[in-house]
Structure 1
């Protein structure tokens, strides 16, 4: 039987060969249905079988895996014994009858090479990943090993696997740590990080299992479309396993991935200089206003004023569309994009910050002259102009994988979108041990200063008890201000943000030690467990203060999930501030208008508004749900536009 074929009439394995070609790519997905057939998509999704492994079926699978693991441990993981299993997997695929033996083999390798015994939840998660599903596994339950087990089974079948993690550090760390397990199975593992030369990249993708970031893999796939006669870097998009899947599939879905090449364009640089000069002469509210964050639009008065200012200019400045677009970008650079929140100025360069994680987004830049405008605003020498040679988005990139699965601690909230766009069901697994997290009532403060003062008092009280504290802040400015306030109060602490990400893992890992105080921006996807120090559990475990005004409930849950892992004790509370952008809305503005320091609805100490916690939570949930719906609409609109562009490229006469 030809490699890539399967018995029992099931789909062929996603491997390079006669079936899928030398560079496998996916065709249409349930979420990528042509417009004439979209009416069939919803009924077909509802008819998809639910994940069957609950209760007794799950127990039977775990028993079969345990028996298989015992057998492999007894006879040893020798090559002559592994080859028949690999041959069967390549021939038949990892159907349920064979999967228990393969998972038992992978579990035996983890036990033999690393001393790790996979838990039942990890084995069930690996099983679901091999079923091409997305798995919600609570934080601290071992997503890294669960993904490794699934990757091992797929690689034993001959499928090239890409395991995508949050950053280069985690990709290199996981590949290094898990190498003994994969080597025990006769598999080769490699990693791809930023700055790796093309030949080394090609060799890394040739491994059985490749750890990388989604960004590196996406750009390498883009480069493969532009390489001409040169050998491709990837072996196709066969199978991807995503860590923090919701961050990649939802939060970063609309991020444009633009492959650029430098070009000499002095006219663009001169135009950016002129646009900044013009933008500085326009008044907010009168000449321009917010359109859709983070964009601005000129008012009719602004358009008239801009036409007057450009009357003495020549060339493209006489074109209304050109001057409006470029000046709007200049206004965005001047007034909306802020250092410390949206970007850093480091080593004479502008480095973008990821809005979700707070990390520096290496290699990322704004398009359409915006990056040059920010550089000029900061008084830096503009970097060479770039022109786009290829472009995609994570929605399109992940849609090209023949097999796509992933894990996260927060997937349930966006399961409908994941099903619609990617055709993937979400499996929610319960924690191995019941959670002992104590969720304290939410609080509301009038402004950032009063909340910060209250945080310092709260941290001081917990520190005196010896409990470790983790405070999550919105951005670099907030973390710096809180750090200064803690230092003034004589409280030793460590800060983790975009300026201090080199020792990220060490800072996060030490956050559970007795008396530790950690201030962090955007804890999503840190990828390192916070282990409790000696005697900390008896004190109540790690305490998390959520001082973030997150647009998504998932981000709040990710931060709270840093405490009370694997049955440990812990507590969390969310502290909001009334002057945050999220609270500036209609009737709520009038409702909280009387909450001023000294007012009857405000506590004397810390000026904390006595708004009932249930009301705070209800409002937060409402505005987060509204934001998520708007974001989902934008993602769907972008996906439809991309499909339209694809159709035009394939059929030049087609209409948008």
Structure 2
């Protein structure tokens, strides 16, 4: 397992070496520490950032934290387009070497823990000093006003984390490990932290949230799904009560008054989708343009749902900021149903029906070049001529060559790229998108540029009422509005550059607490999916005979159903988890670690899924994961493999690749398969993933710019409409 992390601890005396101190730990940097530890940290800091320390440690001073009040306003929020949280430090060869560290598994190993041993010992000593029960409560009562006055200085941060450690240990029975304490500390210093899967990210996030809330900052803890939001909020509820903090979670069906009451809590657990939509609703209610909040720190709201965007802690930060950033969140309102509106809707639907008919008459490869990864279709010269010939009798708008190519290209994507039960579901006669990363239904999301209408006609769904988009935002633009931001994930190293350019935050990688016992098998290749499902049935039968639980990851609902049918024919008992069974998720996950249990799941069983082994399963060798997914990023493969062998437990994983995985994901025309060997095919598949990652990063940047442009145009339109109504 790759282990690397290079940085000195926030708040230690050596942090002045060649680095601009961040606001969260400037104050109190000269805290007394053992001489040997200080010298060691100075040597470590000098190796990383060789600029000299001038004048010793920075002078302590208070740094205000973003809280609703007279200084920050009733709803603190970073202005859109404002400066990022922190700027990139000056480039040095030491820093460049640290960025190359993921390629060197042996460097620097567990040095990150060694450089923080003195601070970790101080935290544990503080926690043990104050005993338990009434003594802890008295300590909390004294520490809270001090944090309000002084902020998160080095000394107060150490005391607050020690208090969180003691309370979590006493209330829940969980003892925070060194890596969890370090993760909480780095998040409170506004960093992204990569922890190995199974290292206890939930409690590290909880400790950071408790400390920030004790300092008076409203904290939003962003989870991967609604199930985890409810689970984690309940786990933290009793500890919050001991500290006088209120903890709540946003449930999907909660009404406006209920949401406003929950957002008044000190710590709120919610999904990114719920937070972003509530933010848009507040903006609409206040009649404030999304891209231009008032000058200053605050965006005043009139009885809004939220108390501003003060501090967000992101669980699975890379998934939220990158994987789920592909589709903007949209709020639409129904338009007037006059005769003109109905006629326009009928005309648009007729145009898309004609586009689908034109697309069905084209031959792939000859007339069309498909790029499935980018969801695009390009007409060849022969294809353009064929479309022009067939569209000539239609007249009207079809005489325009550019519009003709765009509409037929969109129709081709709807016909040949987007698949039912993989990219979307049809429920109650309506199209419901599936999240490509989590495999869950994503109500409220729609495709743009006519793609939604084309898919709706393809599936013979009834036309929906015409709507007008009144607000939209991407997760990337939304989370840049928080005054403070931090996050955790088990897989961020591959995307550290994009995350830094987006948020200005650096990444710290922490080593695993225990050596990994996961055994990774060699990749296997199959000519077509049917052969893979038959081989999977044989492999599952072999593993369950040994008493081992098995988790098979598939791409889509249809793939999970196909494997389920093969397992039924073989007489193998199993459970299926996908978007149609999302109400049974908690029960299925709870039983997935039992000896001999077989679980077939889409990406719903990826991030945030903790499969607990029973004693018999642990003795038999632990959970075995078979990856049959064709993920567009290496991060997703690591997430699925991370469901097994957690926290030093036994386990194994293997990847099964199908030839269609390569032909679907690689750019069209880059290769011709004449045969396959497992290693060669696996290498080509990794190459196609790398190409996809680069292309998707560029696409996300383009989408972010389009989102900003849409908002500017919408703001100008609203201003023009207001001026017109005022003059009238």
**TM-score of the aligned structures, taking structure 2 as reference length:** 0.80
Decide which of 127, 144, 147 is 1:69's aligned counterpart: 127
2:308 corresponds to which residue? 236
- Counterpart CA distance in 2 for 1:541 and 1:428 is 26
Q: Does 1:98 align with 2:163?
A: no
Tell me if the contact between 2:369 and 2:668 (Cα under 8 Å) persists in the aligned partners: no
**Residue equivalent to 2:69:** 17
The one of 253, 274, 280 equivalent to 2:351 is: 274
Distance 1:194 1:283 in 2: 43
Alpha carbons of 1:212 and 1:525: their partners in 2 closer, same or farther (altered >3 Å)?
Answer: farther
Q: CA deviation at 1:559?
A: 0.7
- Cα distance in structure 1, aligned partners of 2:93 and 2:240: 38
Any conservation in 2 of the 1:436–1:568 contact (CA below 8 Å)?
A: yes
Paired residue for 2:475? Answer: 394
1:37 corresponds in structure 2 to none
Structure 1 match to 2:640: 559
- Asked whether the equivalents of residues 190 and 204 of structure 1 are also in contact (C-alpha less than 8 Å), the reply is yes
- Please identify, of 125-134 and 638-647, the stretch whose mean Cα deviation from structure 2 is larger: 638-647
Q: CA 1:631 to 1:387, structure 2 compared with 1: closer, same or farther past 3 Å?
A: same
2 CA distance for matches of 1:213 and 1:558? 19
The equivalent residue for 1:262 is 334
* 1:482 Cα deviation after fit: 0.5
Q: Is the 8 A contact 1:224 1:233 kept in 2?
A: yes
Contact 2:246 2:267 (C-alpha < 8 Å) held by counterparts: yes
Contact 1:160/1:238, CA 8 A, preserved across alignment:
yes
SS in 2 for 1:296: strand
Tell me what 2:90 maps to. Answer: 43
Q: Please list the CA deviations of residues 507-545 of structure 1 after superposition, one character each: whole Å capped at 9, or x if unmatched.
A: 122111110111111156542311111222222111111
* 109 and 55 in structure 1: CA distance in 2 versus 1, 3 angstrom threshold: closer
Q: Find the residue that maps to 2:332 and give its secondary structure.
A: strand
Could you tell me which residue of structure 2 aligns to residue 284 of structure 1?
363
Deviations 1:283-326 (A, max 9, x none): 13455443673122444555555555555657655555545444
C-alpha offsets along residues 255-284 of structure 1, whole Å, 9 cap, x if unaligned? 212221122442224422332234223313
> Structure 2: how far apart are the matches of 1:522 and 1:528?
10
* Gap regions ≥5 residues in structure 2: 1-23, 28-59, 100-109, 288-301, 718-728
Q: 1: distance between equivalents of 2:454 and 2:196?
A: 42
Contact 1:6 1:91 in 2 (8 A): no
Partner SS for 1:258: strand
The 3-state SS of whatever aligns with 1:478 is: helix
What are the Cα deviations for residues 404-441 of structure 1, in whole angstroms up to 9, with x where unaligned? 11111111111111112211111111122111001111
- Measured after TM superposition, the shift of residue 453 of structure 1 is 1.3
CA distance in 1: counterparts of 2:639 and 2:375, whole angstroms: 25
Superimposed CA distance per residue, residues 580-626 of structure 1 (whole angstroms, 9 cap, x where no aligned partner): 23576799855x5145xxxxxxxxxxxxx4x4x3x444333322222
Gap change, CA 1:407 and 1:459, over 3 Å in 2: same
Residue of structure 1 aligned with 2:513, choices 432, 445, 460: 432
In the alignment, is residue 339 of structure 1 matched against residue 391 of structure 2? no
Other-structure match for 1:59: 117
CA displacement, residues 214-249 of structure 1 (integer Å, 9 cap, x when unaligned) = 011111111222112742221111100111111011
**1:618 equivalent in structure 2:** 683
Q: Which moved more, 1:236-245 or 1:221-230?
A: 221-230
Encode CA deviations 1:447-484: one digit per residue, 9 max, x unaligned.
11211111111111111111111111111111111110
- 1:507 match: secondary structure: helix
Q: State how far apart, in whole Å, the 2-side matches of 1:641 and 1:277 are.
A: 28
8 Å CA contact 2:607–2:640 kept in 1: the answer is no
**Separation in structure 1 between the aligned mates of residue 125 and residue 25 of structure 2, nearest angstrom:** 29
Q: Relative to structure 2, which stretch is displaced further, 508-517 or 45-54?
A: 45-54
Task: Tell whether the 8 Å contact from 1:12 to 1:19 is kept in structure 2 after alignment.
Answer: no
Q: 1:496 aligns with which of 556, 569, 577?
A: 577
- Structure 1: gaps of 5 or more residues: 34-39, 596-608
* 1:360 and 2:410 aligned: no
Q: Does the Cα contact within 8 Å between 1:505 and 1:528 map onto a contact in 2?
A: no
1:629-648 equivalences under 5 Å are 629-642=694-707
| Match runs of 1:218-617 below 5 Å | 218-228=276-286, 230-263=302-335, 264=337, 265-266=341-342, 267-281=344-358, 282-285=361-364, 288-290=368-370, 293-300=374-381, 302-303=383-384, 306=387, 320-523=401-604, 525-580=606-661, 581-582=663-664, 589-590=671-672, 592-595=673-676, 609=677, 611=678, 613=679, 615-617=680-682
Cα offset for 1:363? 2.1
C-alpha distance in 1, partners of 2:179/2:645?
A: 17
Aligned ranges 1:134-213 → 2 under 5 Å: 134-213=192-271
Contact 1:268-1:369 at 8 Å conserved across structures: no
Distance 1:411 1:114, change over 3 A: same
Whole-angstrom CA distance in 1 between matches of 2:656 and 2:586: 26
CA distance, structure 1, for counterparts of residue 113 and residue 426 of structure 2 = 54
In 2, Cα distance between equivalents of 1:78 and 1:549: 50
The 2-side partners of 1:483 and 1:424 are apart by 43
- Asked if 2 retains the 8 angstrom alpha-carbon contact of 1:470 and 1:518, the reply is yes
Q: Structure 1: how far apart are the matches of 2:345 and 2:466? A: 8
Tell me the CA shift for residue 335 of structure 1. Answer: 2.7
Tell me how far 1:57 sits from its aligned partner. Answer: 4.1
Q: How has the CA–CA distance of structure 1 residues 439 and 47 changed in structure 2, closer, same or farther, with 3 Å as cutoff?
A: closer
Instruction: Out of 292-301 and 99-108, give the one that drifted further.
Output: 292-301
The alpha-carbon distance between structure 1 residues 345 and 649, as it changes in their structure 2 partners (threshold 3 A), is closer
Aligned counterparts of 1:584 and 1:643: Cα–Cα separation in 2: 31
Aligned partners of 1:375 and 1:381 also within 8 Å:
yes
CA RMSD of aligned residues (A): 3.1
Aligned to 1:628: 693
Aligned partners of 1:295 and 1:375: how far apart in 2? 18
**Residue deviations 1:91-137 (CA, integer Å, cap 9, x gap):** 11122211121112112222232222222221111111111111111
Q: Note the C-alpha offset of 1:551.
A: 1.2
Distance 1:304 1:548, change over 3 A: same
Identify which range, 296-305 or 549-558, moves more after superposition: 296-305
Query: Quick one: distance in 2 between partners of 1:417 and 1:330?
Result: 32
C-alpha offsets along residues 71-92 of structure 1, whole Å, 9 cap, x if unaligned? 3433636665423311111111
Residues 1:202 and 1:46: Cα distance change in structure 2 (over 3 Å): farther
